[in-house]
Structure 1
Amino acid sequence: MTVKVEQLTGGYGKRPVIKNINFELTQGEIVGLIGLNGAGKSTTIKHMLGLLTPMEGKLSISDIDIKQDVEAYRRKLSYIPESPVIYEELTLQEHIYMTAMAYDISKETAMERARPLLKTFRLEDELNIFPSHFSKGMKQKVMIICAFIVNPELYIIDEPFLGLDPLGIQSMLDLMVEKKNEGRTVLMSTHILATAERYCDRFLIMDEGEVVAFGDLKALQAQTGLSGKTLDEIYIHVTQGGQDT
């Protein structure tokens, strides 16, 4: 499985926000998508999800081009947004069933996959509750459960730790590692660089709509001439235009 983003230029209306984005994700890795607010991370993600149409470039997962078969492409991925998207009229169980229907998974299979996740996130007694009444952290856990019952090839996760308590954060990280070990791929946008450095195999750093560095920590150190530096130090260096810090 390979995720390819090739010469991607796009944005909103006629104004490009991201310019000539190129990267490739491979099977069984966690990649950290890193950048300042406004660097183009969310715009890149929206293009990868098919929510925005590129001005130029190609997007594919396992050689399925989004322009050729958008439904088959979308079924290769699941998405956890920064802000939970909850339907007020649906219970937690109905959210799980709706996700199953979207991905052509049986209700039985969906619930079988959901049960250990419900237990992990302490929501097993909340199946018949409307998540619109949940705290933000609990709503985020609903999003996580729905995304992980799909078992896609690619998980796209946008700031997954917002609103989660420390136990929830660790459970989320453990899930990502578990999926990586199963051969799935995770693209995670985050500002928590110490956690990214610990858990990510490679890092994609964006600044002003462009990819300014990509690779594992050693590759980033080589690209920036910052041998032995941490991800935090490299990030500050490249987002300040290569100035000494």
Structure 2
Amino acid sequence: MSLEVTNVSGGYGRVPVLHDVTFSVPDGQVVGLIGLNGAGKSTTIKHIIGLLQPQTGTITVDGLTLASDANAYRGSIAYVPETPVLYPELTLREHLELAMMAYGLDQQQAWHKLDRLLAMFRLDNKLDWFPDNFSKGMKQKVMIASAFMTDAQLFIIDEPFTGLDPVAVHDLITLVNEQKARGAAVLMSTHVLATAQEYADGFVLLRDGQVRAQGSLSALRDEFNLPNASLDDIYMAMTQEV
């Protein structure tokens, strides 16, 4: 298993947002993290990437914990945030070089990967542009390129389709499937349920900071007693529970 979240409780203060959350993302699989706004998806991701420390429980990535080897743990994760984070004083080229240094990548190899990624997202002629000149979708593409030039074992993608045009959505799915074929694990938080249903191998459904259900679509159908339900049907059923 690449990612193991075990009995994690935690949040931003004394009162936990997450309550005994347990799930895994195996190597070579895409798992969709699904839930209403406020269900705990972003809080879960912040715990995994190390921005928050669990009050109880453990998180391991490829057998590593943040406490055992922080650099190796962080280096094994590539993260695409919901809101792009770019420095106004750095060009696109400088952002990419900064990411290379952060991951300790060989620059020649990284640029070789980036040649394809930048062309795919139509950023190859914008290396000397500053973020103020980028649309939200372009900023999101910079985040995607920065993540997918790495050889991370775990990709965490938070609401990846926000602001992307249909061609870019297709390209991102292609990249996700390539990493899955390479044996990497992918945790993807999204509200685009039809796309999640089509491309994810399994799902973790969060409700009020707890795992309400998890597993394949077939397992979720059994759990909710909805034999022919779509992921959207199951989501609606979960939100209507008392």
Return the TM-score normalized by structure 1: 0.96
Runs of 4+ residues deviating >6 angstroms: none
Where does residue 188 of structure 2 map in the other structure? 188
The residue aligned with 2:240 is 240
Query: Which residue of structure 2 lines up, in the alignment, with residue 212 of structure 1?
Result: 212
The aligned amino acid for 2:89 is: E
- 1:88 and 2:88 matched: yes
- Contact 1:91–1:127 under 8 Å retained in 2: yes
Please name the residue that 1:122 is paired with. Answer: 122
TM-superposed deviation, 1:75: 0.6
Contact 1:87–1:132 (Cα < 8 Å) also in 2: no
Fraction of identical pairs, as percent: 48
- The runs of 5 or more residues in structure 2 that have no matched partner are none
Contact 1:9 1:17 in 2 (8 A): yes
1:167 match: secondary structure? helix
Deviations 1:101-144 (A, max 9, x none): 00111222221111100010011111111123101100100000
Shift of 1:161: 0.7
Task: Give the match for residue 63 of structure 1.
Answer: 63
Kept in 1, the 8 Å contact 2:79–2:156? The answer is yes
Aligned pairs (5 A) from 1:1-150: 1-150=1-150
Say if 1:96 and 1:110, in contact at 8 Å, map to a contact too: no
Distance (whole Å) between structure 1 residues aligned to residue 134 and residue 238 of structure 2: 39
- How many angstroms apart in 2 are the aligned matches of 1:213 and 1:239? 12
State the distance in 2 between where 1:224 and 1:67 align.
38
Shift in Å at residue 150 of structure 1?
1.1
Q: RMSD over aligned Cα, in angstroms? A: 1.0
Name the counterpart of 2:198.
198
Q: Does the 8 Å contact 1:11/1:43 carry over to 2?
A: yes
| 1:12 aligned counterpart, secondary structure | coil
* Paired residues of 2:10 and 2:53 also in contact (CA < 8 A): yes
Q: Alpha-carbon deviations, 1:190-239, whole Å to 9, x = none?
A: 00100100010001100000000100100101111111111111111112
Structure 1 CA distance for aligned equivalents of residues 237 and 159 of structure 2: 22
Contact 1:40 1:209 in 2 (8 A): yes
2:177 maps to a residue whose letter is V
1: CA distance, partners of 2:26 / 2:34: 18
8 A Cα contact 2:114 2:145, kept in partner: yes
C-alpha separation between the residues in 2 aligned to 1:39 and 1:71?
Answer: 30
**SS of 2:105 mapped into structure 1:** coil
Q: Is the 8 A contact 2:2 2:154 kept in 1?
A: no
Return 125-134 or 52-61, whichever deviates more.
Answer: 125-134
Instruction: Output the amino acid matched with 1:210.
Output: Q
Q: How many residues align?
A: 242
Structure 1 Cα separation of the partners of residues 229 and 202 of structure 2: 15
Q: Secondary structure at the match of 2:122?
A: coil
In structure 2, what is the equivalent of residue 231 of structure 1? 231
Rounded to whole Å, the distance in 2 between the matches of 1:150 and 1:81 is 16
Residues 166-211 of structure 1: CA deviation (Å, up to 9, x unaligned): 1111111111111111111110000010010001000110000000
- Distance of 1:189 and 1:151 partners within structure 2: 21
Question: Which residue is equivalent to 2:172?
Answer: 172
